[in-house]
Amino acid sequence: MSKLRLEFIERRQVPWAGLVFLAAALLCGVSVALEWRDLQAGRMVLQERSGKLEKSLKERQRSALQEQKKADPAAELRLKERQKVIASLNYSWNRILSPLEQTESNEVAILSFVHDQSVGGAQLTVEALDFPALSRFVDKMNQDADGRRWYVANYQTQAPGSPATIKATVLNQ
């Protein structure tokens, strides 16, 4: 009988170089994760500080503006005048003037028009041929009135030497 010969494969050696590389990579990963956590905490602290500084800056700007107003009252007056001009430019003049244009009449002449934007009231000085013409004019003005009514505040007849006319003040308040 013949002798049995078995040829075993040699056992593989442990790859020490690979394990060392794996351990180094793992240490680098842990180091990066810890550094990231520290940076996030620092970012949060800096954001809180930035918010506090912005709030402090706004308060200082507000107090400096108030001090400037106290020191220069003329600047405050100029600012108020600018605001009045802007308000008058943005005012809805069509709403006020369109009823006047629609009540066109040969019997009544509008001599002056005064409008107070703060109250919204208006005053007309008119001259009419007679009182019924004046009354018709006021009625036409009230046809399109939106809540505010026009009325004759006072009137007077002109002197006897001139043509017979009535001068009146018509208010809207």
Q: Where are the alpha helices (DSSP H) in the chain?
A: 16-71, 73-90, 93-102, 131-143
Q: So where are the chain's domains? A: 16-90, 105-172
Q: How many CB atoms lie within 10 A of CB 146?
A: 6
Q: Can you give the pLDDT of all 173 residues of the chain as single tens digits?
A: 778 877 777 777 889 999 999 999 999 999 999 999 999 999 999 999 999 999 999 999 999 888 877 777 787 788 889 988 888 888 777 777 877 888 878 888 889 988 887 777 888 899 998 888 888 888 888 886 666 788 888 888 877 666 778 889 888 87
Output b/e per residue, 21-34; b: 16+ Cβ within 10 A.
eeeeeeeeeeeeee
| Contact of 95 with 86, CB cutoff 8 Å | no
How high is the pLDDT of residue 161? 64
Q: How many CB atoms lie within 10 A of CB 169?
A: 17
How high is the pLDDT of residue 62? 92
Q: How far apart are CA 23 and CA 14, in angstroms?
A: 15
Find out if CATH 3.40.190 is the number for domain 105-172. no
Q: How many CB atoms lie within 10 A of CB 74?
A: 7
